[in-house]
Every structure is written in structure tokens, then in C-alpha cells.
Structure 1
Amino acid sequence: MTGSFSREQLSLYFIAGTQDTSRDFFQVLTEALEGGVTMFQLREKGEKSVQSEEERLHLALKAKEVCSRFKVPFIVNDDAELAVKSGADGLHVGQEDLRASEARKIIGSSAVLGVSAYTIEEAAEAVEAGADYVGVGPMYATFSKQDAKAVVGPERITQMRESGINIPIVAIGGIQPEHTKAILQSGADGISVISAIASSQSPRKAAADFRSQLI
């Protein structure tokens, strides 16, 4: 895998799987990219998600191909083997997934590694394990994840910055365009969005609305 990574790529980070939209998944992804998404993570999880390894690989390869047309990094959630097989630009792991240090060994030093961090301690551990960025949240109440923890708000990002966490941070959880400025002011490098784009009637417009708040 090859990962070229910069903080700017976290500006508008779209996360989705087939379970997050009732429309054609690749059409949604294409429209979101047209609207200005700067990074995409395939998070294929839940009851309605694709289960077979063969189908998941096909999904990942096609999503990667769409992202490459827009020169946007393609990240796989949780599944290190799928990330390697699909030639993804990187992998994102949660606290209940593969340990970040193990993930780094599997994907190699050049791939992007993102880690979900709820506490300052988890963020510090991610830095030590070689993470390129941490995803922090939930910022606000969210219905995209059944296992979402209690809301921490943008102040958690401020606390992390004050504690010395200096790698890129992307916020996640219930984020709407009007939240963007407060999140960036807290010290985040960008925002990540699932349902606000994936469930939108116009993913292109939804992404563009977020982008307009990032300027």
C-alpha cells in the first residue's frame, strides 16, 4: 500500500458503507467526491453490510478506483487484510479492533494509519503506536453507530491539544455544517461525516455545504 498523507486531506472525511445508503453506493460516493470530499473511508459494518470476503474485496477495489479518479485517499475501516489486498492508501482502527501497533506492522510504514481515540490516554497511545491521525468523538449525538459512546464535544479536542497531542485530529459524530467552525477552533484539522452525506438526497450538495464552512 502506498499512502501520501497531509493534514489537509482530513478536511472533509467521508465515511460510509453500503449499509448507510438506500441509493447506489458508488453513485453516492461519486457525488460526494464531486461535492468536495477530501478523504474516504470504507466502513462496511452492520447487519445490512456485505459479508462475503469476495464481495467485500470487489467493493473495496471499485471504491478505490472511484477515489483515485478524484485523487482522494482511500482508507479501509478495521479490516487490515482487506486494506492490503485492495491496495488501499491506509487503514483506520477503533479501540475494539486490531491494536494500532499490530495494524502498523501489517500495513507497513508508508500506509496511512488512523486510530479512533475517545480519551487523551488513547490518543497518546495511538501516537506511540505510529498513528498518522486520530479520530475523536462523538462530537454530538449520532445514530450512524449503534455502539457510539457518550458525547465528548469539541472540548475533548482542545484538551488533547493542551495535553500535547500534535498529530492531525479529525472530529466525528453527529456533525452538521453549522458545527464546523467550532470544531476547527477547538484544534481539529477536519471533520468526518457519515449520515449527513450518505443519507442526503444530494450527497454532492451535502458535501459542498460542509466544504463551504471549511474555508
Structure 2
Amino acid sequence: MNFNKNMLQAYCIAGSQDLADHQVLPFLETALKAGITTFQLREKGPDAIADPQKLVALARACRQLTRQYDVPLFIDDNIDLALTVGADGIHVGQKDEGISAVLAKTAGKLMVGYSCNTPAQIEHANSLTGIDYLGVGAVYPTTSKADAGAAIGLAKLHDYAQLSTRPIVAIGGITVANAPDVIAAGAAGISGITIFTLSENLPDTVARLKALDGGV
């Protein structure tokens, strides 16, 4: 599967730590039926799956479901898992394995997303070959990710989108109500956890995000 910026329109992130009773697969199928454009399996924190065999089994099941709906599957910060289950992509952050090592391991095998939250990080990403998109945020304050950092706001998001040579997917405190402002600032799409997992009407949420005209 080749990268397309439309994959970023409704980029859903979730793992066992985000869902009651670890109901990742039922939630994922609901989200896929609602029309999400990408799913990232992110297992992190004390409530995440620790058993490697159980994690592989979950990732394989996610792979099967996403393939049925022709939606890309990204794995957060676990190259071996991504390659083992035949995922479409890997997403890494500044505190995860170094981006150069990731690109060397995944060249031609996986799409690559990279979290960048400062101009220096974005300029470094611009100098590298093999990155498909940047994840930028938190745009607004959020408690969904313990490592989200301070909110950057819309002005910085706009500046970062202008600086980046790759499309940006925004994350952090984004709701259906403020998503248009985020897209207007230059993001190609919206990513998040609770915007999807806590949605009272997931098909409507996804449809409204996909209707926004994201940046290049």
C-alpha cells in the first residue's frame, strides 16, 4: 500500500489502555465501518498488553480487520511487531527508536510517520528520505497521552505545516468542533484517541472529519 495524504483525514489511534475491558477489536470494527482512514495500534502504559504473544495475536487480528476494509494499519513504536504482522506502516516519536535507524530497517517495507514538535525536529525530518507524514501536537491540551507535552496552539501548527515538506496530521485535544480550525491552520488530517473512542456518534464524527479540506 502506497502512502496518500487522504489516509490522514480520520486517523484513529487506540490500544488496550484506551478502551474498557480491552475491547480493541470490537471498537476497531465499529471504527472501520464508520469510515476511518487509518488505524494505529498503540499499546503503551501500565494498562497495555505486556505479553508478547498476546500482543502479536491482537496485532494480527487488527491486520485482518483493516485489510478487509482496505484501511492502512500502523503500529506505534514497534518495528518488529509491524514487520511480523505485515502492517502497512510504523509511527515513531522523538523518544522512541531513532528515526535514522527506523528508516534503515523499514526502507521499502513500511510507510513511516514521525512525531515532530519543534522547528528543529521538522527541519531534520525534511532532510531525511523515507518519511511519509509528520504527526504534530499536542495542538490543544490533552490527557489521552502521558507523553503529549505542552500544547503548541494553532499559530505554531500553521508555522510547522508551512515548514514541513511532508503532510502533517495533527493530534492532541482535537474535537469535531475545533477540527475545522486545525485543518485551516494547515494540517492534512486529524488524529487522536478520544475523538474516536469517546464519540457518541462515530459515523458522524468520521464523516465530518473527512469532509474537511486538508492541507498538502
Name the amino acid aligned to 1:60.
A
Give the TM-score, by structure 1 length.
0.92
**Unaligned ranges ≥5, structure 1:** none
Contact 1:177 1:213 in 2 (8 A): no
Q: Where does residue 153 of structure 2 map in the other structure? A: 153
**Deviation (angstroms), 1:213:** 4.9
**% identical aligned pairs:** 33
Paired residue secondary structure (2:6): helix
**Deviation (angstroms), 1:214:** 5.6
Paired residue secondary structure (1:76): strand
Q: Where does residue 111 of structure 2 map in the other structure? A: 112
Contact 2:39 2:73 in 1 (8 A): yes
Paired residue secondary structure (2:90): strand
Q: Distance between the aligned counterparts of 2:92 and 2:54, measured in 1?
A: 21
String of CA shifts for 1:119-172, please: whole Å, max 9, x gaps.
111112223233110000001111111122110022222112333x22110000
String of CA shifts for 1:51-101, please: whole Å, max 9, x gaps.
111111111111111111111100000011111111110100000001111
Q: Where does residue 190 of structure 1 map in the other structure? A: 189
Q: Distance between the aligned counterparts of 2:93 and 2:181, measured in 1?
A: 25
Q: Where does residue 6 of structure 1 map in the other structure? A: 4
Contact 1:140 1:173 in 2 (8 A): yes
Q: Distance between the aligned counterparts of 1:26 and 1:214, measured in 2?
A: 30
Q: Distance between the aligned counterparts of 1:110 and 1:95, measured in 2?
A: 21
Give the TM-score, by structure 2 length.
0.91
Name the amino acid aligned to 2:150.
A
Instruction: State yes or no: 1:141 paired with 2:141.
Output: yes
Aligned-residue CA RMSD (Å): 1.7
Q: Where does residue 17 of structure 2 map in the other structure? A: 19
Contact 1:178 1:213 in 2 (8 A): no
Name the amino acid aligned to 1:193.
G
Q: Where does residue 32 of structure 2 map in the other structure? A: 33
